[in-house]
Amino acid sequence: MSDQEQPQIYLITPPEFELSQFPDQLAAVLDAHEVACLRLALATHDEDRIARAADACREVAHARDVAVVLQSHIGLAERLGLDGVHLTDGARSVRKARKALGTDAIVGAYCAQTRHEGISAGEAGADYIAFGPAGASPLGDGAQAEDDLFQWWSEMIEIPVVAEGALDATRIGQLAALTDFVGIGDEIWGSEDPAAALGALIRAMG
Query: pLDDT digit string (tens) for 36-63?
Result: 999 999 999 999 999 999 999 999 999 9
Query: Could you tell me the pLDDT band of residue 3, with boundaries at 50, 70 and 90?
Result: very low
Q: Contact, 163 vs 131, CB < 8 A?
A: yes
How many C-beta atoms surround the C-beta of residue 159 within 10 A? Answer: 17
Query: pLDDT digit string (tens) for 138-156?
Result: 988 999 999 999 999 999 9
The structural domains of the chain, with segments of one domain joined by +, span 8-203
> What DSSP character marks residue 160?
-
CA distances from 173 to 12, 78, 145 (A): 19, 36, 15
Query: pLDDT digit string (tens) for 163-204?
Result: 999 999 999 999 999 999 999 999 999 999 999 999 999 999
Q: Is the CATH number 3.20.20.70 carried by domain 8-203? A: yes
CA separation for the pair 178, 21 (Å, rounded): 35
Q: Label residues 35-45 b or e (16+ Cβ within 10 Å = b).
A: bbbbbbbbeee
Q: Contact, 152 vs 115, CB < 8 A?
A: yes
CA separation for the pair 42, 66 (Å, rounded): 18
Q: Is 18 exposed, middle or buried (0-12, 13-18, 19+ CB in 10 A)?
A: exposed
Find the angle CA(2)-CA(29)-CA(90) to the nearest 5 degrees: 55
How high is the pLDDT of residue 2? 39
pTM over 0.95: yes
Query: pLDDT digit string (tens) for 128-141?
Result: 999 999 999 998 89
How high is the pLDDT of residue 206? 86
